[in-house]
Amino acid sequence: MGDSSASAPAPAASDKGKVSNLPQLHRYITGHNAAGEAIVHTHNDFAWQPYDDNKLAFSVAYTTSSFPPDLNGDADVRAHAELEAKGTLGLVNPHGTVLRAVDFAPGYACGMHRTQSLDYGIVLEGRIDMVLDSGEVHPLKRGDVAVQRATQHQWVNKSDTEWARMIFVLQDCKPLTVNGQQYGEDLGSNSGLPASGN
């Protein structure tokens, strides 16, 4: 699959765990002032968590823990902060959503896996193959969208030199049954993540 080290300089120390040479991302959370006008509640750079010898990095930008979420009195902001502080978040947040950016090193293939969720995956940078357990392979380019419906899949960056980046919105879903067989979360062998518990 090629060399997994990019030729660009290493990320700056201020990049909060980012391992790729892609631009740092910044998050803006809005809210309201006392007059009911829109303001930026908080903003900060994405914080990254590297996995698999720095060939993969996740950044959770936001979560919700109920549907529909309660925005009154910043209840959703508090719920996100509390979940983040626990450090137990799997790929999916039971009864809620997860907004996550993922960087894939050149030549990297994550393990085949399934989440019990409906996911919107958007390619932000580079190209990446969506590989399904049926054997189908679909190359995705910047701007392409994958709607993952609790299917077994993996992501493969076939470039020898370029990182790829996707952003995902994962939404908890009801257990999936196909032809009488129930399917649940299957994190594969190399996720390094706790089970989602849904």
Tokens standing for 159?
A: 């470039």
Give the pLDDT score at 5. Answer: 35
Give the pLDDT score at 147. Answer: 98
Asked if the structure places residue 35 within a domain, the reply is no
Give the pLDDT score at 7. Answer: 37
Number of domains in the chain: 1
- List the beta bridge partners of residue 130: 138, 155
Give the pLDDT score at 193. Answer: 79
Give yes or no for a contact between 114 and 151, defined as CB atoms under 8 angstroms apart: yes
For residue 128, give its domain range.
Answer: 47-172
Asked if the structure places residue 100 within a domain, the reply is yes
Per-residue 3-state assignment (H helix, E strand, C coil) for 75-90: HHHHHHHHHHHHCCCC
Asked if the structure places residue 17 within a domain, the reply is no
Mean pLDDT split into 10-residue runs, the chain, 198 residues: 37 74 98 97 96 95 97 97 95 97 97 96 98 98 98 97 98 97 88 84
Residue 121 belongs to a domain with what CATH number? 2.60.120.10
**H helices present in 26-166, as ranges:** 75-86
Give the pLDDT score at 10. Answer: 46
Give the pLDDT score at 192. Answer: 74
Asked if the structure places residue 156 within a domain, the reply is yes
CB proximity list for 136: less than 8 A, separation 6 or greater: none
Asked if the structure places residue 179 within a domain, the reply is no
Asked if the structure places residue 119 within a domain, the reply is yes
Asked if the structure places residue 187 within a domain, the reply is no
Give the pLDDT score at 1. Answer: 34
Give yes or no for a contact between 76 and 70, defined as CB atoms under 8 angstroms apart: yes
Give the pLDDT score at 16. Answer: 85
Give the pLDDT score at 190. Answer: 60
What backbone torsions phi and psi does residue 186 show, to the nearest 5 degrees? -140, 105
Asked if the structure places residue 191 within a domain, the reply is no
- Please give the Cα distance from 109 to 99 (Å, whole number): 21
